[in-house]
Amino acid sequence: MKIQVVNTGSGSSRLACFEIEPSVDDPVEPLWKIEVDANAPGQPPGRLDLIFRSGGREEKAGAVAAASGPAERVSALMERAEHEGGCEGVVHRVVHGGESFIRAVRLSDEVEAEIERLAAFAPLHNPANLEGIRAARRRLGEDVPQVAVFDTAFHHRLPLYAATYPGPREWREQGIRRYGFHGSSFRSAAMRAAALLGRRDDSAVSLILCHLGGGCSLCATIGGASIDTTMGFTPLDGIAMGTRSGELDPGILIHLMRQGMEADDLEDLLNRKSGLLGLSGISSDTRILQPEAEQGDSAARLAIGVFRHRLRGGIGRMLASLGCLPDALVFTDAMGETMPSIRAAACESFAFLGLRLDPAANEIGMPDSDIAAADSSIRVLVLRCREEWQMARECAELLAGTPEAPEGEG
């Protein structure tokens, strides 16, 4: 079954195609991928290049105006995709599903209306996701089934005490709770880690998963089910990120509002001008900041130091939620897969628990490998991020009539 995966953001959009069989757990690589990224370096003035990748080759596949929105970008990606043949289904990443969506669903007018309502919870994400959905439907018509997979769905069975904020009880009635995000990444990483540990069907395997990219979050799982996570009501919560602040003292926001800052300005500040970028004034990318820090730039050094400190704190929190040593600590996504110094810094604070890295293996950081020392009390895995494959898998299962049961069911 050929499934196209659409990941629409405010600054970038990606389209990938997978040949996939329902209920097959072993990941496969995409047949091809196309992306357009407003943040990519070297873009020509006034336009954004579409980049096509397949079988190790890469080529420019057209361009869109730099000022284009998510709908125009998705339409351009799909126009290029038509050269590669048709598909049997399209699956879209939607960041916030609230309490309404706990698994993949076929898109309909009612589903789209609920995604739009939930945009109040994720104003930077759901509107862009919805634009991509509508652009795809206009391009492909009604004959190609379209499916939505929600970041929040993986965490829907969080224990009530882990999901609840210590505010007035009315908050729960208003849907103010911890939802968690990066669900497709965590779901695929949990399955892959269990397989690499030789415990694919073990309901007791415990993991701490670190999704470290432009957005960063951690998750503790037992038997593939999320029991705690660092992101909360929105993707702003948790550890420091590329441009997002992560958790803050709420009093800071009250102070800034009393100084005259409006809600829209706060949203922009916390989402786009904080984190590594805000601290360093240089970049949101640790691959750029690390050399600057090593060459003595104090702002870059501080940004890296704050990120490492918050990451270690997040791991400690996940340890406490598990209440035991995890079977593995897992690193995935761009930063988790490519930054050995970040992995080493995250692990060094837990040497007292017997966690030890193999320095040579960590430096290589081969995806889907164990980089822990032979005598480490905890295995440390580097996994390729496969959220797009996971989305395609869930879409194929839904269209085949065999959707995966949510954690704790079935």
214 vs 337: which has the higher pLDDT: 337
Strand 89-94 to 146-150 pairing: parallel
Portion of the chain with pLDDT greater than 90, in percent:
86
In angstroms, the CA 236 to CA 178 distance is 11
Q: What is the pLDDT of residue 12?
A: 83
**Active-site option among 151, 228, 333, 370:** 151
Decide: 143 and 87 in contact? Cβ < 8 Å. Answer: no
Q: What is the pLDDT of residue 288?
A: 92
Strand 216-222 to 206-212 pairing: antiparallel
Q: What is the pLDDT of residue 190?
A: 97
Strand 206-212 to 328-332 pairing: parallel
E strand residue ranges, 134-252: 146-150, 206-212, 216-222, 225-229
Q: How far is CA 230 from CA 39, 180, 377, in A?
A: 26, 7, 24
- Give tens-digit pLDDT for 107-155: 999 999 999 999 988 888 999 999 999 999 999 998 999 999 999 999 9
In angstroms, the CA 368 to CA 323 distance is 26
Q: What is the pLDDT of residue 21?
A: 83
264 is catalytic: no
Residue carrying the six token digits 């590329």? 242
Q: What is the pLDDT of residue 404?
A: 59
Q: What average pLDDT does range 213-223 have in this prediction? A: 96
At position 172, the amino acid (one-letter code) is R
Q: What is the CA 5 to chain-centroid distance, rounded? A: 15
Strand 89-94 to 206-212 pairing: unpaired
Q: What is the pLDDT of residue 26?
A: 87
Specify the 3-state DSSP secondary structure of 45: coil
In angstroms, the CA 266 to CA 320 distance is 32
Q: Is the pLDDT of residue 204 over 50?
A: yes
Quick one: pLDDT band at residue 354, thresholds 50, 70, 90? very high
* Of residues 35, 64, 60, the one with CA closest to residue 48: 64
- Give tens-digit pLDDT for 41-94: 677 788 889 999 998 899 998 999 988 999 999 999 999 999 998 899 999 999
Exposure pattern of 252-276 as b/e (b: 16+ CB <10 Å)?
eeeeeeeeeeeeeeeeeebbbebbb
Quick one: pLDDT band at residue 37, thresholds 50, 70, 90? confident
Q: Is the pLDDT of residue 405 over 60?
A: no
What's the pTM? 0.94
Q: What is the pLDDT of residue 408?
A: 41
In this structure, of 117-131, 168-182, 249-263, 386-400, the range with the lowest mean pLDDT score is 117-131
In angstroms, the CA 71 to CA 134 distance is 7
In angstroms, the CA 370 to CA 368 distance is 7
Residues, the chain, total?
410
Decide: 190 and 224 in contact? Cβ < 8 Å. Answer: yes
- Give tens-digit pLDDT for 357-373: 999 999 999 999 999 99
Portion of the chain with pLDDT greater than 70, in percent:
97
In this structure, of 12-26, 110-124, 260-274, 309-323, the range with the lowest mean pLDDT score is 12-26
